[in-house]
Every structure is written in structure tokens, then in C-alpha cells.
Amino acid sequence: MADTRVKFCGVTFKNPLAAASAEPTLNAANMKKCIDSGAGAVIAKTMTDSAGMRELTQRAKWRFLDQKHEVCHGKVPRGFSLYSRSGLALEPPDDFMKEITETIKYAREKDAVVIGSIASTDIDGWVSLGKQMQDGGVPMVELNFGCPHPKLMPGMRTGMNVGQDFDYACEITRKVSDALDIPVIIKVTPQVNDLVLFSEMLHKAGARAVTLTNRFIGFVPDIQTGQPLIYGKAGIGGPWTKPLTLRWINEVRTMLGDKLEITGTNGAYDWRDIVMFIMSGARIVQMCSAVMCYGYSWLDKQVKGLEEFMDEKGYKTIDQMLGIATDSCMEYGEMPHEKASVNQALCKNCGLCLKACFSGAMQQGDETVYLNEENCVGCGGCYSVCPVKGTIEMVKC
């Protein structure tokens, strides 16, 4: 059977699936449910010294949206969006640390890891919260430079406002890293121009790892009422964001290699996505939206799915998959030339490939389509839309 263990920031995890910092990790009771469902780790809801950021959670609102960005009623599609407004941990730090220490004790019995998460409004606060987490026994701490989102807390330098100010974010990272003996992870917002540059700066400031990435800011009107959904702008993520997140994981791994470890979040829906995150370069994969939609048992299904996939493909360890897709990534100019190949015996003459071809390569014959090879540039549009598997293949030339 495949070995799903992975070492991240010097700590061994029994599997790479972590419950992300959100409502499913709001307190000890919730975190225990994640652990009981097979997660290798839980990232606690972000502890804060800001009463305002705690109060926001009392008014948390979220909606699951379909492909039309309308509220799902009943079945939630795979490509859903989680559109939400929330805050950070409900309890003041001294009280929330009791939840952390209780969870750590429970996690040890279940071979799971508890990762702390913190956010403050000034540098001294970040350092103080980090020390509390370290003293409480967490093996590493994540600094939340993504939530809450801007304009939720006017005048406060926290959350995304920190993550968009590279110099200030690095100053916080440096002070916290210098003050702690445990690894510091930085959770970044995707709403910046260059996460590769930012990640490199964070590494130089003392970060051992980055979490790529937090959610985006969205705005969704309800066309029936003319009012904004859940009263205004909100964080938006979900399975649809996966390619955007994987892009940054790909680029940070490509540029920084093993100098900076990566945990991925925002877009992981099931075990297939866990594999994609790992193959892109993330050692640990955080899951949130799907758990909020389908419940804690979703985690166990994905761990089992990962194990079955590894056994089927012959992967003995997570490290055998780590970054293999990124390490094979080509630039545009390096791509090989290809041409389509049509098996006319299988062709149903549906005409879809004719509509998807803009180079004049796919031609209509008497009974089936055929390929004018001279015109084919190998784009693969025809291959993508053909409904009969094996009718069109892309061949290197």
C-alpha cells in the first residue's frame, strides 16, 4: 500500500490533506471532527487580538453559487463558488489557546498535526500571538496575510492590506521569525502582481513556507432584487480557482525550488485535486470549501481516494509525485509541433470539429470529416470537442 506520509517544515504528516483555517476549524470541537475524518493536519481558525475581527465572525454569511453565480438550492455542482463574509476566531487569544492546547492533545492520539494561525493589527501583536502559539505547543504557525479582506476593517493594517504591502509584510515576517523557534508559514493573497517576487522576499525575511493562496474578492448582484448578494463584496473561492492557484504553485516552485516549501489551498475539491496540487509542487494541500459544503466526512473520502490512486499508478510515496508536472513544464516556444489524426472509421460526422477549427484543417467529406494536414497547426480544438474517444488524436511531428 502507498505511503502517504510527507515531511513539511521538518514535521512528518501522516497524509498531505489539511483542513484549512475556516469555520470547520473554528474551535476544538470542530478541529477534532476534522481529525476524526482522517485529515493529516488542521490549521486552526485564525487567532487575533482584534475584537473587531472577532466580531465579524458573529455576522458570518456565505452562499454556495452555481455556474451562473446564483445561489444553489439543493444539489451543489462540482464547479461551485463559495461566496462568503466572515471574520477570525471568536475567542480572545487567552481563551482560544485553550482550544488549541485541547486539540493538540487530541491530535497526538490520532497522529495528526495542529498548525496555528494568527493575525494582528500591529507588529508587536503579531509577535505576541506567535509566541503564544509556540508556547501552546504548535509545531509551526501560519501568518494570515489574506483575511479579512480590505474595507471590512477601515483604518486597520491587517489581512489583505498587509499581504498587498510587500515591505510591511516582510517586516512582520522577519520580526515573528526572529522571535520564534518554530517554522513560520505565510498565507498570501492572490491579489498582487507577483507572488514569485513576494515569496522570495518572504523567504529572505525568514519564512519557511508559503500558503498559496487565499481567496479573491468578488461582487455578485442578485438580478431579481437588484441588491448585492450578502450585502456587498465578499471573499470568493472554490473549485473553479484551482488552475489559478496551481499557476502560482508552479511558478514559485520553478523559481525557488526547495528553498521555500509550499502548502496549497483555494481550489482543492477532491483527491484528484490533491494530486494536482502535489504534482504542481505543494507538499501539503489545504481543503475548505468542499468541507463546508459536504461536511467533515468528505475529508476521509479524499484520503482514501488518494491512497487508491497512488496504488493504481504505482506511486510508493508522496515525494515521487511532488512537483513532477511543474518540473516537466515547457515555455511556449519549447512546445513540440503536433498535428491531428482522424480515425474516419469512428467518425460520427457530428461536425463539432469543423466549428472548432480555425485553420481550415478539418474538412467535410462525403460521409465523414477528414484532415487537410497541410493546414493543421496542432491546436487540439478538434480533439477537445470530439465526442467519440479515439476518433481524433494529437500526434507529435
Residues in the chain: 397
Indicate the pLDDT class of residue 52, thresholds 50, 70 and 90: confident
- The pLDDT of 370-390, averaged and rounded, is 97
From the number of C-beta atoms within 10 Å of its C-beta (0-12, 13-18, 19+), residue 275 rates as buried
Contact 265, 212 (CB under 8 A): yes
Last residue of a domain, one of 300, 327, 354: 327
Distance CA 357, CA 370 (A): 12
Neighbours of 26 (CB within 10 A): 21
Distance CA 21, CA 43 (A): 5
Is 1 inside any structural domain? no
pLDDT, tens digit (0-9, with 9 covering 90-100), for 160-199: 889 999 999 999 999 999 999 999 999 999 999 999 999 9
pLDDT, tens digit (0-9, with 9 covering 90-100), for 137-159: 999 999 999 886 655 556 678 88
From the number of C-beta atoms within 10 Å of its C-beta (0-12, 13-18, 19+), residue 258 rates as exposed
- Please state, for a pLDDT cut of 90, what percent of the chain lies above it: 94
Q: How many domains are there within the chain?
A: 2
Same domain, yes or no, for 244 and 352? no
Same domain, yes or no, for 320 and 365? no
Same domain, yes or no, for 93 and 238? yes
CATH number at residue 392: 3.30.70.20
Give just the sign of the alpha carbon dihedral 327, 333, 334, 335. Answer: positive
pTM above 0.85, yes or no: yes
Same domain, yes or no, for 53 and 120? yes
Average per-residue pLDDT for the chain = 96
Is 103 inside any structural domain? yes
Does the pLDDT value for residue 204 go beyond 90? yes
Name every residue whose Cβ is closer than 8 Å to that of residue 95 and which is 6 or more positions away in sequence. Answer: none
- The pLDDT of 336-350, averaged and rounded, is 97
Q: Which domain holds residue 76?
A: 6-327
Last residue of a domain, one of 327, 350, 378: 327
Same domain, yes or no, for 366 and 308? no
Give just the sign of the alpha carbon dihedral 250, 287, 170, 260. Answer: negative
Q: What pLDDT score does 97 carry?
A: 98
